[in-house]
Structure 1
Amino acid sequence: MPAFPLEELLARPKSKPKGCSRLPNLMDIKFHNNYWQAAQAENLTYYIYGAYYDNRATVEEAPLVRILTMSSRYGKRNEVKFPQVYCQLWYENQTEPLLVNVTDHKIIWIFGGAPKRVYPTLLSCALPQQQQQVPEMVSLVATRCELATNLLRVVYEPRKWVEPATKPRFMVCVKALNYPYSDLSWRLIEWLELLRLLGADKVVFYEAQMHANMSKVIEHYSQQAGYVELRPLSLGRGEPHAAPNFHYWAMSADGFNRRLNEMIPYNDCFYRNMYNYDYIGVFDIDEIIMPLGNLTSWSQLIDVAQRAPDYQRESSRCQHWASFCFRNVYFPSYAERAPVYPTLPSYYYMLQHVERSPEHCNRYAAVKCLHSTRYVEALHNHFPLFFRRKHSCDPKSVPIQYAQMQHYREPTNKTRLLNPIRDDNIWRFQPQLQQRVHDTYKQLGFLPNEL
């Protein structure tokens, strides 16, 4: 239960507050599903997943505590009315909470609503400017002095190193691995090794319920100096999680509900890691941002992307961008076609699949981005929904001569399958990638000893 501060609660001295609120105890909490808590305000219900301390230099209102929720209210942006709610901020060794207003509700969705759904919503609680101590815990309440029904640990992971960075640091966030009936361990290994070659320092996954071999792969990489992290997750509306494979069927039952819930791991991952990485990507395990030409790493790519033409602006006034985004191009399986690289074993999926659709998708269709942790406030899986417009320009579409987002799946529009062209840019990484994948297979016991 990563959000519930049980250790901090047990360590607190038992004392009666002099003010109007006391710290909720374990029996006061309204737990909702495995990893969520609930709060009620008028006829609105908040299901709360996490809380985070935001003191970034680009956030003028900082310091803030951000609270990531699913709420039962939705409507057009700037037209949704939320009740006034409050944060009770609990500091170490203090028995009285600091009471502040929730100053902002950001609905992390722009594509319409439907009944019986809950919507990802990011709340902001502005701390007094002179208050530089990080709160230990926070509760969301409908009135300032009420006894809270929720209590969350405030996540703050400050920068872990003090030496100047010689190049940007990158990490990747992945939605729930919801594969109980499919063994994609072989795809996962190749993908993780290619990410590492491109410059990813960390990859965070969220667990739904997955195949045993995939769990074995995640465990293997989790032991490698923190390269991979697996975090728990359940659905915000309340679907059961503990029953074997039920999460899979709940996700399959309603694609809209699934997409709404996917915003939670993306944004939890971002806020947990924003101080330690310069750029964060949100990808599926069939997606890779591939530098092209002489570029062989994401750090080189970012350097070039900063100077590349900006298709969305005629002027060059921008110096900072919320995100750098890359156009999607499909690499289908083309199972009926002979392998381009017949001597390479078939379990090297990306190295084998070097034929793609002849045309890239447009700049607004299925793009994926590298998001700046200095400016972004809330993420969709394809682009940032909120960012600091005073300090940065809109996401920049990087020209396709520098990089592309390689998508290893069948396109929805089947005409894109026609007239494939060969694109073997990945082969620049072939010797290292092939050897690393093979070594991992051997270590995990996925290959006979004689191979």
Structure 2
Amino acid sequence: MQVTSLFPFHKLPYQVWLMMVKRRMFPLLIASALAVMVYIIFTLSRSQPGNHQHLYPRHISDQSITPVNDTKHFMVGAYKEHRVTGCSVRIISIFRRDSVQPLYCVFYCGTHWANGTKAEVQMHSDHFGFPFVTTDVLCPNLPDCNPSHVTLATQADAKLAQNQSFLRIQNLVKMEEEEFQFNFTVCWSNLFGDYNNVLQVTQTLEMYKLLGVQHVVVYNTSCGPDLERLLQSYTQEGFVEVVPWPIDQHMNPSRGWQPIEHGGDIHYYGQLTTLNDCVYRHMYQSRYVLLNDIDEIITPYQHQTLPQMMDVLQRQHPKAEVFLIENHIFPKSQFEPSGKFERPRWRDVPGINIMEHIYREEPDYRIYHPSKMIVRPRAVEQTSVHSVLRNFGQTVKVPPNVCHIIHVRVPLRRGLTKKELHEDKRVWDYERQLVPNVDKALEQAGLLI
């Protein structure tokens, strides 16, 4: 038997290795490690000078945005699709809406190449009129192919596509929930411009820790220097994952959601694409994913933590997979009068002190009132910002007295006086741990004098 026909242990994701260690599956672990060593030796021997047979993609992209040759489109992430019949791989992409052409999925099958098969292009319904749109490309199942890498090509001939950039296929193993690395993951999109709201971001991250979140992901195009230092500190700690998002190198992204008013090629620096990519990245890593912005905190009001709240909500709604959480505005122009949290140590830290803003607007339910979401990612096919576009389960609107978003920002209903606002001190319930934790995080980042 040739080495290349053995089970491809060298492509096992780290979660599988971790599972074998946790379950003390030492014989299988040793056998797998030996197989990897044999594979490496075999691969090196085949790559010696004089051997011209090429059995591995020459160019594997390590970028979050990869152009598709001879098109105006871009690939973002490739994911094994375990839920849709007939579909092998889903490629999260960005397509130019007026330039769609026939495309082919070309697979590297671990031991051999497969000629391209016709790709199914599904442009998302939400694009707000911009030229570029988040797009799913569905690649069909192929017999005798266990793909490890994929690319999109304008021709089906695999030999012609071998010089193109390939994406590593993620989610190869369908992990069970008990094997997930995280219970709760927060997806933030997108960070751009000179955003430097360090104090509010630190308070938000430390609040999420107290609420039971283990992982926060931010797609970063650019930010202010102080926030950059803070994110680096949290990344070293392992709590934050920063995904570089250089979309401004490929197109002119918009800072808003209306092309007539804001211009540009794509909505909010590709926010819809990053949200979808984040869902798929964590489909078999996290039990729940929170989809919200960097200045928002999805906060339970009848439970101390998010896990406690979700346990109750799931028992009440066993078929629910998407939970809509109302956005509530806390105007940054209204301050708590006692100055209880006007801390001298925080004065020179750039950003908003959310603990000083305890007055909440009552939403105007006569007009559209947006929500953000907590989702079980395995039930989501496509998502927008305020709702899912396609999913497999039920959607539940969570009552605001159970959970709502604390969103400290400019007022939405500008005419309201302080007497017309609701006092909401929910963040103060966590002050005993929150304040020293914020101090410690700022010190570790070198941002406290």
State TM-score, norm by structure 1.
0.75
User: The residue matched to 1:215 in structure 2 has which SS?
Assistant: helix
In structure 2, the CA distance between the partners of 1:381 and 1:255, relative to structure 1 (3 Å rule), is farther
In structure 2, the CA distance between the partners of 1:371 and 1:362, relative to structure 1 (3 Å rule), is farther
User: The residue matched to 1:223 in structure 2 has which SS?
Assistant: helix
Q: Distance in 1 between matches of 2:306 and 2:232?
A: 26
Q: Distance in 1 between matches of 2:296 and 2:94?
A: 27
Please tell me the residue identity of whatever aligns with 2:140.
A
User: The residue matched to 2:331 in structure 1 has which SS?
Assistant: coil
Offset at residue 387 of structure 1 (A): 1.5
Contact 1:369 1:383 in 2 (8 A): yes
Contact 2:108 2:149 in 1 (8 A): yes
Is 2:124 the partner of 1:108? yes
Offset at residue 341 of structure 1 (A): 4.4
Please tell me the residue identity of whatever aligns with 1:108.
H
Aligned length: 391
Please tell me the residue identity of whatever aligns with 2:126.
I
In structure 2, the CA distance between the partners of 1:204 and 1:141, relative to structure 1 (3 Å rule), is same
In structure 2, the CA distance between the partners of 1:53 and 1:275, relative to structure 1 (3 Å rule), is same
1:429: which partner in 2?
A: 430
- RMSD in angstroms over aligned alpha carbons? 3.7
Offset at residue 67 of structure 1 (A): 1.2
Contact 1:170 1:279 in 2 (8 A): yes
2:327: which partner in 1?
A: 328
User: The residue matched to 2:369 in structure 1 has which SS?
Assistant: coil
1:439: which partner in 2?
A: 440
Offset at residue 98 of structure 1 (A): 5.2
Correspondent of 1:52 among 58, 79, 99: 79
Is 2:243 the partner of 1:231? yes
In structure 2, the CA distance between the partners of 1:129 and 1:324, relative to structure 1 (3 Å rule), is farther
1:276: which partner in 2?
A: 285
Q: Distance in 1 between matches of 2:214 and 2:396?
A: 23
Correspondent of 1:200 among 188, 199, 213: 213
Offset at residue 214 of structure 1 (A): 0.8
Contact 2:331 2:360 in 1 (8 A): yes
Q: Distance in 2 between matches of 1:35 and 1:255?
A: 18
Please tell me the residue identity of whatever aligns with 1:342.
K
Correspondent of 2:92 among 68, 71, 75: 68
Correspondent of 2:203 among 162, 173, 190: 190
1:291-306 equivalences under 5 Å are 291-293=300-302, 295-306=303-314
In structure 2, the CA distance between the partners of 1:162 and 1:413, relative to structure 1 (3 Å rule), is closer
Structure 1: give runs of 5+ residues left out of the alignment.
1-7, 75-80, 241-245, 309-317
Q: Distance in 2 between matches of 1:357 and 1:439?
A: 32
Q: Distance in 1 between matches of 2:89 and 2:367?
A: 34
1:255-274 equivalences under 5 Å are 257-259=266-268, 261-274=270-283
In structure 2, the CA distance between the partners of 1:441 and 1:248, relative to structure 1 (3 Å rule), is same
In structure 2, the CA distance between the partners of 1:270 and 1:362, relative to structure 1 (3 Å rule), is farther
In structure 2, the CA distance between the partners of 1:304 and 1:267, relative to structure 1 (3 Å rule), is same
Offset at residue 24 of structure 1 (A): 7.2
In structure 2, the CA distance between the partners of 1:279 and 1:84, relative to structure 1 (3 Å rule), is same
In structure 2, the CA distance between the partners of 1:341 and 1:98, relative to structure 1 (3 Å rule), is farther
1:28-47 equivalences under 5 Å are 35-40=65-70, 45-47=72-74
In structure 2, the CA distance between the partners of 1:445 and 1:238, relative to structure 1 (3 Å rule), is closer
Please tell me the residue identity of whatever aligns with 1:198.
L
Deviation per CA, 1:272-326, whole angstroms, max 9, x where unpaired? 2210101111221211111012x01111121222355xxxxxxxxx732231111
Q: Distance in 2 between matches of 1:258 and 1:157?
A: 27
Please tell me the residue identity of whatever aligns with 1:387.
N
Identity of aligned residues (%): 23
Contact 2:341 2:355 in 1 (8 A): no
Contact 1:48 1:70 in 2 (8 A): yes
Correspondent of 1:170 among 164, 174, 184: 184
Structure 2: give runs of 5+ residues left out of the alignment.
1-39, 347-351
Contact 1:167 1:299 in 2 (8 A): no
Q: Distance in 1 between matches of 2:155 and 2:177?
A: 45
When you count helix as a share of all residues, which structure comes out higher?
2
